[in-house]
Amino acid sequence: LVLDGEGGQVLTKPSNVTYKNDDREALPGISQVSFNGSMVLNRAGNFSLRFKFTDIPGGKVSRFEMPLHVADP
C-alpha cells in the first residue's frame, strides 16, 4: 500500500501477494519470503510504503511501514 504525506491512499488497489506452502512441518524453518513488484508514482514528494502480512492458519497479522521520498527529476 502506498500512502501520500497526509496518509491518504495513492494507488486505487493495493498489491496482494499470496505465499502458499502446504507442508506445515517446513513452515517454522522459513525465515523469509521474497517477491518482486513495481509501481509508478507520478509526482515528487514524501510517501510511505505499508506492508501487511497475514498468517491465516495461525491467525496472526504483522505490519511494517517505511518512508519513501521521491525527488524531482
Q: What are phi and psi of 65, to 5 degrees?
A: -130, 140
pLDDT tens digits along 10-37 = 877 878 888 777 787 877 778 887 878 7
The yes-or-no verdict on residue 51 having pLDDT over 80 is: yes
Share of the chain above pLDDT 90, in %: 23
Residues 6+ apart with CB under 8 A from 4: 10, 45, 46, 47
The yes-or-no verdict on residue 67 having pLDDT over 90 is: yes
pLDDT of residue 48: 93
- Mean pLDDT of all residues belonging to the chain: 85
The pTM of the full predicted model, rounded to 2 decimals, is 0.70
Closest CA to 3 of 73, 63, 72: 63
